[in-house]
Amino acid sequence: MHTPPTTSKGEQARSQLIAAALAQFGEYGLHATTRDIAAQAGQNIAAIPYYFGSKEDLYLACAQWIADFIHENFRPYAEAAEALLAHHEPDKTAIRALIHQACQNMIMLLTHDETLNISKFISREQLSPTRAYQLVHDSVIAPLHHYFTALLAAYTGRDASDTQTIIHTHALIGEILAFRLGRETFLLRAGWTAFDKDKAAQIYQVITCHIDLILQGLTLRSSES
């Protein structure tokens, strides 16, 4: 990947190109054209090879931008999870609170229109993964999924490496993702036209109810086995 000297003008151009590329790649995948990306960014088409090297390199740069975005938004929760899990007997009240907080942040991000292009990009990669998905997965998604699973296991007394525990974790995360991936279905069923702060709070209230039911149910099952 090309790494031209960093300047404020250059950083602005790179940011504009990545924002436009996220929108175009999210909509059309790698079929998006560099001409359309440059036009949406308000940049000359020559800026793409200058700053990134190729369309494929720009695609990977978008994946890295997404990884950095996710890392920045969830780093405090990952650090808190690591601190909790370092104890021989982690505080269950603190674990529950941390899971709630992380899920609240996820709901907030996934009900904002500003993150729609990120979701489109990742959804394409989930269905037809390329090197770009592996980059995001290895750097942020896998570690966060690991922490979530470990917290669930620590609370319920399950084995964090057990496939069933991983499935439970993935299903919980999927409940939240459904409000983005199944957005139109839900809005039509709820009679809403869009998400706002109040509606996100209603979603959070239901999700936390489900989380508590699952935590309690799995804890009870663990104690009976």
One digit per residue, the tens of pLDDT, for the chain of length 225 reads: 455 555 688 899 999 999 999 999 999 999 999 999 999 999 999 999 999 999 999 999 999 999 999 999 999 999 999 999 999 999 999 999 999 999 999 999 999 999 999 999 999 999 999 999 999 999 999 999 999 999 999 999 999 999 999 999 999 999 999 999 999 999 999 999 999 999 999 999 999 999 999 999 999 998 876
Side chain identity at residue 176, one-letter code: I
Per-residue model confidence (pLDDT) at position 6: 58
Per-residue model confidence (pLDDT) at position 8: 84
Per-residue model confidence (pLDDT) at position 1: 47
User: For a pLDDT cut of 70, what percent of the chain falls above it?
Assistant: 96
Per-residue model confidence (pLDDT) at position 131: 96
Per-residue model confidence (pLDDT) at position 4: 54
Q: What angle do CA 49, 36, 126 make, to 5 degrees?
A: 85
Per-residue model confidence (pLDDT) at position 177: 97
Structural domains of the chain, with CATH: 1-53 (1.10.10.60), 62-224 (1.10.357.10)
